Amino acid sequence: MDSLSIRFNFGGAFVRTGLSFDELREAHAGACAEAATWLRETPSGTEGHGWMALPETDTSEIKRTAEWLKDYDFIIHVGIGGSALGSLMLNQSLLDEFRNCSEARPKFYLADNPDPTKTREIWEQSKGGRTALVGVSKSGATAETMSQFLWFRNEMIKQTGRAEDDILVITDPQKGIFRSFSRDPGCRALDLPASVGGRYSVLSAAALAGACALGIDIDELLSGAGKMKRYLLENTSMETNPAWLASSLHVCHEKQGRSMAVMMPYSSKMAFFAEWFAQLWGESLGKSGKGTTPVRAVGAIDQHSQVQLYTEGPDDKLFTIINLKKHGDQVSVPPVDCDALKPLSYLDGSDIGEMLGLEAMSTAAAIVKTGHPLIWVELERLDPTSLGALIFYYEYMTAMTGRMMGIDPFDQPGVEQGKKYTYGLMGRSGFEKDAEEAEEWFQRIAGISLKI
């Protein structure tokens, strides 16, 4: 892994397993090998498996579209779940946090949650210039996405008289409402491969088009993912493959009653990485009474809100801490220059980034000391190559864990039921029975009510 400068440390995860490394390998190596073979040999065109081929994506059409987007003052990206979190994660990790406050163009706004206040505020920020509307949905039917897409499109029509010339849809190559709409003159379209699920789509056009338009090196991102893919496919033992070992540990701890997987990067730039992981993990594994609940945390912020629970609370969590050795710009604490602040002199000359790393180490040590299992992941730096590698690693490890648990890591039947209820309640034809059923279940919720 030297070329990617990512180190995985698993010693802390053996706390309370009751197993040595050799015993864990004996118990799970066969299941790892079967899952690895399944991932390697299933054609990428098979439903759910398309993400495996994304590191080899031809980016030429994405780049041409990104050049078109660069001419705009504003990009409004409309999507939710996997059609949004990937973009948020890439932008936060690799761009200036306050880019939209600078003179840089285009400015980027993401309309995900259909909150009318947020929707209108995005338009108020962008209506004064040339605006591109990017809709991301495989079906073009997702209610949260399409309601906002239609509203923004209407506002654009009121402003300029026509919207299609300023619209890009990223959708299924063959079918769906968005694909039909994309055939209107002027509207642009990029393919979201049919065999790629939303939560596995970050390395597709769904996130790459906007990222490229904002200046992210998408070739380096895919290069890092490709390097990780080759490493994981070529190394077929628990001694050399971090995904084999991590998946085995997650399965082991789930069986022992640790029902939560805490993801805690020590970097503000990785807060949305934890959010992205939460969807990937929860939606892929939470089925048939199995899986573990993802918990998002960010260090050092959550040392002051959650670590008390983590160290002295119930033994129901497997922790992952991600640490960056280099945070970019150096910020050093100046010498104390007044008597009242003299007790803080121990901070003189300290680099804040190094301090954050020491806090990550301290939290990890405190968690393991109290007997709770922990995986430590360390990146030399956060750049497109290392981020691409980390994205592919977690996608692969998640899929492997699901296979080892005996579930399909690529479907989401629980999500689909909620979508059907929403369609019915919103009056979509063909979902009348779903509306009735949703009303019946909701009446049970309202059966005991207190109004104050």
Known catalytic residues? 283, 304, 419
Task: Assess contact for 190 and 74: CB atoms under 8 A.
Answer: no
Task: Give the CA distances from residue 221 to residues 90, 211, 272, 384, in Å, rounded to whole numbers and listed in that order.
Answer: 10, 10, 17, 5
Helix intervals (H) in 161-266:
177-181, 205-213, 218-234, 242-255
CB atoms within 10 A of CB 48: 18
Contact 73, 126 (CB under 8 A): yes
CA separation, residue 71 to residues 4, 78, 100, 129 (Å):
34, 19, 16, 11
Helical segments of 42-84, H only: 60-70
The separation between the first and the last C-alpha atoms of the chain, rounded to the nearest angstrom, is 59
Could you give the CA distance from residue 133 to residue 108 in angstroms, rounded to a whole number? Answer: 10
User: Is the N-terminal amide bond of 13 cis, ω within 30° of 0?
Assistant: no
What does the block give as tokens for 321?
A: 């801490």
Measured between alpha carbons, how far is 135 from 152 in angstroms, rounded to an integer? 10
DSSP 334: P
Instruction: Give the strand order in the sheet containing 131-136.
Output: 107-111, 74-78, 131-136, 167-171, 188-191
Please state, in angstroms and rounded to a whole number, the distance separating the CA atoms of residues 438 and 444: 10
Structure tokens at 155: 């506002």
Phi/psi of residue 314, each to 5°?
A: -65, 150
